[in-house]
Amino acid sequence: MTVPAAAAERAAFLRGEIERHNHAYYVLDAPTIPDAEYDKLFRELQQLETDHPQLLTADSPTQRVGAPPLKEFPPVVHRLPMLSLNNAFSEAEVQAFDQRVRDGLDLPAGAGPVEYAVEPKFDGLAISLTYENGIFVRGATRGDGATGEDVTPNLRTIRRIPLRLAGTGWPALIEVRGEVLLFRRDFEKLNARQRERGEKEFVNPRNAAAGSLRQLDSRITASRPLSFFAYGVGAGYEALAANSHAELIDRVAGLGFPVSRERRVVAGAEGLLDYFAEMGEKRPNLPYDIDGVVYKVNRLSAQDRLGFVSRAPRFAIAHKFPAEEATTEILAIEIQVGRTGALTPVARLKPVFVGGVTVTNATLHNEDEIRRKDVRIGDTVIVRRAGDVIPEVVAVVPEKRPILAPEFIMPKACPQCGSAVERLPDEAVARCSGGLYCPAQRKQALLHFASRRAMDIEGLGEKLVDQLVDGGLVHSPADLYGLDMATLADLERMGEKSAQNLCAAIAKSRNTTLGRFIYALGIRNVGEATARDLARHFGRLEDIMAADEAKLQEVQDVGPVVAVSLTAFFAEPHNREVIERLRAAGIHWPDAAPRHDGPRPLAGKTLVLTGTLPTLKRDEAKSLIEAAGGKVAGSVSKKTDFVVAGDEAGSKLETALALGRPVIDEAELLNLLNKKD
């Protein structure tokens, strides 16, 4: 049925008017019409869409009421990772951050202060919102930073999130990032309603917001008064043509998003600390909870130069407020073995309410911390929720110590597998040396062993590893090579075709290289490049396993720490047994004559790769450069020797040109690689 033109025009007008009033009410806190007039417009639009279903659009304000329940949240892979921030808890740490930024930007001592964008650190749930051609199409939680959960139906119910971007000329695709939270007044109303219904009350606004957003039934989410603030942009930020973070957030506000009114730009460490003090004073009177403030280098070009380290940016840091504290008693000290083999002493506490939750456990970090604080079983201690998240023991109340309270002794053997516990001279953490055998490390060891740059067993992911380990089918990587199709096909979500593919991938992995195999073993401090260097230097696995620390340190970039890790790993009988079983299962590689490192074409040179090369993949180019003695860096600086640029080279090429660093193409790279030693 054809929709009358007048009805279509009226519906479009009503949608625009309602969203304009929504923005004024929910984002600007400045209502433009009485509630009765708003309700009249809303009901008229609902009636038009009921009479003419063809008029209903995904961005209609009427679609915020919730949808039928989901069975589960589908995964969403973030186009750009949603990285966490490193934390600072003291003035000294903030000053050290500012100095690291200055050093990373090569600023001389006499240069002016760095400009920073500063904003509150909202105590809520981080999310990303994806818009295509101005329409909201997908929303996801942060998850593990790489993959989150698709909570689009729930996010549609939040009135502070626009379903259509404001203005015109939007980017074809843009991902806006921010925080879902509950205002304090709304949290109090929500708990009052929970009490009236005889239902469980929420402990704090953050828990209430997180629980509301992760409801499988979005109609429940729609009944909760969630709010949102935008604080950044992921994919598509280039299209906003901003030169600074502050300018970028101005652009985001112009698209119709609520942003913090407390954000501003300051200069240097002094400006950061002044802002922290100011927000500390304002904190009790803000309408929402914050657990600190966030500092970001303002210039986007400077952010690009500083880059990232591990899972956090170098150009930003969160400065946390002091956490709440309480006093309680230590009932026992137990050892937890982490997935990487780290032994962490944990205090079992007499339950105590701290920072909105009941705490029964607290980390003691490591043996040195226990000695420094002189923590003993039976002690009365002050407990703090560090960063308002992880409970920790701050100090002992010595006058309440029981007579003859025993000192803590770190075990010499892993409580999970009995392997020797090692502690390197420059590390505070003690670790289990039974990596391939230890039950606590089993899943992590298998995932690492099967990863693309190790044995490359396609299809062996986290959920499948969980089933194999929890079902007692796999105890070490060697057991993978004894799996058959019938066993795999019986697993949940497998089936004959998937089982066949995994069996083929396991069989294919038997043919590998010595460098990949060493890396796959997951030896502490031995990364991909070090594993290749060991393989090139020794040529045979037997020679690596027999080498002492002095011999190992003859290898390029292998120092005392790596040498100790290698000898400790190969000294453990459990690990040798697993290696023997892997060899017996048919894993093989071509042995090579030992190559003792001499001068190589790119020895001592630092290169940066950007863009798409004509024939070489990024990993292939990196391997060739490292084999020739060079180092591949992630960002361009004055210390970069060559920038290898391919098609669609981005900001790294611009930085190279600005710094006057040599730029070469793939052909010139191959010429450098082919030069004789």
Tokens of 153: 């139906």
One DSSP character per residue, 179-238 reads EEE--HHHHHHHHHHHHHTTPPPPSSHHHHHHHHHT-SSHHHHHTS--EEEEEEE-TTGG
CA separation for the pair 309, 317 (Å, rounded): 12
Could you give the residue range(s) of every CATH 3.30.470.30 domain in the chain? 115-320
What pLDDT is attached to residue 506? 93
* Per-residue pLDDT tens over the stretch 546-604: 999 988 988 877 888 888 889 988 988 888 998 999 999 999 988 766 655 555 788 77
pLDDT of 29 higher than 70:
no
Options 40, 71, 121, 412, the catalytic residue: 121
Q: What is the pLDDT of residue 1?
A: 62
Give pLDDT, residue 276: 95
Return the pLDDT at 126: 92
Answer yes or no: are the C-beta atoms of 338 and 344 closer than 8 Å: yes
Q: Which residue type is seen at 623?
A: S
For residues 563 and 258, give the distance between their C-alpha atoms in angstroms, rounded to a whole number.
53
Domain 115-320 has CATH 3.30.470.30: yes
Bigger pLDDT: 439 vs 229: 229
103 vs 203, residue with greater confidence: 103
Cα separation, 438 vs 336, whole angstroms: 13
pLDDT above 80: residue 487: yes
| Residue 427 pLDDT level (bands cut at 50, 70, 90) | confident
Q: pLDDT grade, residue 31 (50/70/90)?
A: low
Please tell me whether residue 664 adopts helix, strand or coil conformation: strand
Q: Which tens digits make up the pLDDT trace of 369-381?
A: 899 889 999 999 9
Distance CA 287, CA 222 (A): 21
Residue pair 386/394 in contact (Cβ under 8 Å)? The answer is no
Model pLDDT, residue 27: 54
For the chain, what is the largest distance between any 2 Cα atoms, rounded to a whole number of angstroms? Answer: 89
Which of 143-147, 298-302, 304-308 has the least mean pLDDT? 143-147
pLDDT at 171 over 60: yes
CA distances 562 to 548, 554, 569, Å, are: 12, 12, 11
pLDDT in tens, 491-527: 888 888 888 999 999 999 999 999 999 999 988 888 8
Q: Which two tokens stand for residue 658?
A: 């600005």
Helix (H) or strand (E) holding 442: helix 442-450
Q: Inform me whether the pLDDT recorded for 273 exceeds 50.
A: yes
Whole-angstrom Cα distance, residue 163 to residue 148?
20
**Start-end of CATH 2.40.50.140 domains in the chain:** 325-400
Residues with Cβ < 8 Å from 136, sequence gap 6 or more?
58, 59, 129, 130, 152, 155, 156, 161, 162, 163, 164
Lowest mean pLDDT among 89-98, 305-314, 657-666: 305-314
pLDDT at residue 664 tops 60 = yes
Q: Are 85 and 320 in contact (CB under 8 A)?
A: no
The class (CATH top level) of 5-64 is mainly alpha
Give 15's pLDDT tier (boundaries 50, 70, 90): confident
**Picking from 330-334, 355-359, 645-649, which range would have the lowest pLDDT averaged per residue?**
355-359
The CATH 1.10.150.20 domain(s) of the chain lie at: 412-597
Q: Mean pLDDT across the stretch 440-453?
A: 89
Q: Which CATH class is domain 606-673?
A: alpha beta
| pLDDT-based confidence at residue 33 (cuts at 50, 70, 90) | low
Where does the chain hold its CATH 1.10.287.610 domain(s)? 5-64
- Tens digits of residue pLDDT in 380-395: 998 887 555 678 888 8
Where in the chain do CATH 3.40.50.10190 domains reside? 606-673
Type and span of the H or E element at 443: helix 442-450
Q: Tokens at residue 335, please? A: 């050892």
121 is catalytic: yes
With a cut of 70, say whether residue 674 has pLDDT above it. yes
Q: Tell me the chain's radius of gyration from C-alpha atoms.
A: 29
The helix (H) or strand (E) run that includes residue 306 is helix 300-306
CATH topology of domain 325-400: OB fold (Dihydrolipoamide Acetyltransferase, E2P) (2.40.50)
Q: Is the pLDDT of residue 544 over 90?
A: yes
> By three-state DSSP, how is residue 173 classified?
strand
Residues 423 and 429: beta-carbon distance below 8 Å: yes
If you average pLDDT over every residue of the chain, what do you get?
Answer: 86
Q: pLDDT confidence of 196, banded at 50, 70, 90?
A: confident
Instruction: Look at residue 189 and tell me whether its pLDDT is greater than 60.
Output: yes
Fold of the domain spanning 412-597: DNA polymerase; domain 1 (1.10.150)
pLDDT (mean) for 446-475: 90
SS3 state at 99: helix
Residue 66 has pLDDT above 50, yes or no: no
pLDDT at site 673: 84
Structure tokens at 516: 């990949």
**Model pTM score:** 0.53
pLDDT tens column, 649-663: 888 888 899 899 999
Instruction: Supply 529's token pair.
Output: 């490049």
Structure-token pair, residue 542: 């037997």
